[in-house]
């Protein structure tokens, strides 16, 4: 009888140890995911330069227009966006709720000085398009060749 109690005590101890380890690993996974999102999620961007404007496209999939802040100076475009997403997955054996919150920040150095007050921005299908007139516009002249 005494040996059986000892085995049951050991089984309970091992089960508790495994549960604690699983809880610790889950906490570490969550911390690592948060740090990865905080430090590596930098939105993609394209910069197009025309004779008169600088056009910047920034990919911000899944975000809402009201969560995006855009600041422009003569040399920089700075963007900040808050996100708060939650996804529920229900299956035969698994129920998972995954919630992610954070802030995306990006500063983009513009290739030429611009006129920030004349900038326009449009957010459509996860793409932010910013058009900013250049401060010094290039004038082109066609010269006849003799």
Model confidence at 123: pLDDT above 90: yes
pLDDT given for residue 40 in this prediction: 47
pLDDT given for residue 117 in this prediction: 94
How high is the mean pLDDT of the chain?
81
pTM: 0.61
- Label each residue of the chain as H, E or C: CHHHHHHHHHHHHHHHHHHHHHHHHHHHHHHHHHHHHHHHCCCCEEEEECCCEEEEEEECCCCCHHHEEEEECCCEEEEEEEEEEEEEEECCCCEEEEEEEEEEEEEEECCCCECHHHCEEEEECCEEEEEEEECCCCCCCCCCCC
pLDDT, tens digit, 9 for 90 and up, residues 59-92? 888 888 999 999 999 999 999 988 777 666 676 6
Q: Per mean pLDDT, which of 25-29, 117-121, 134-138 is the most reliable? A: 117-121
Model confidence at 36: pLDDT above 70: no
Q: Of 74, 39, 53, which is closest to residue 129 (Cα–Cα)?
A: 53
pLDDT, tens digit, 9 for 90 and up, residues 87-115? 666 766 666 666 677 788 888 999 999 99
């Amino acid at each position: 009888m005494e040996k059986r109690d000892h085995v049951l005590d050991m089984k309970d101890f091992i089960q508790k140890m495994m549960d604690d380890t699983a809880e610790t690993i889950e906490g570490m996974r969550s911390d690592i995911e948060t740090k990865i999102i905080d430090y590596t999620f930098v939105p993609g961007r394209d910069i197009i330069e025309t004779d008169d404007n600088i056009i910047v496209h920034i990919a911000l999939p899944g975000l809402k227009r009201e969560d995006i802040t855009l600041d422009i100076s003569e040399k920089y475009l700075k963007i900040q966006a808050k996100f708060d997403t939650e996804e529920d997955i229900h299956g035969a054996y698994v129920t998972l709720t995954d919630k992610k919150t954070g802030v995306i920040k990006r500063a983009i150095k513009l290739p030429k000085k611009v006129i920030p007050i004349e900038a326009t921005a449009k957010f459509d299908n996860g793409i932010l398009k910013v058009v900013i007139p250049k401060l010094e516009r290039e004038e082109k002249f066609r010269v006849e060749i003799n």
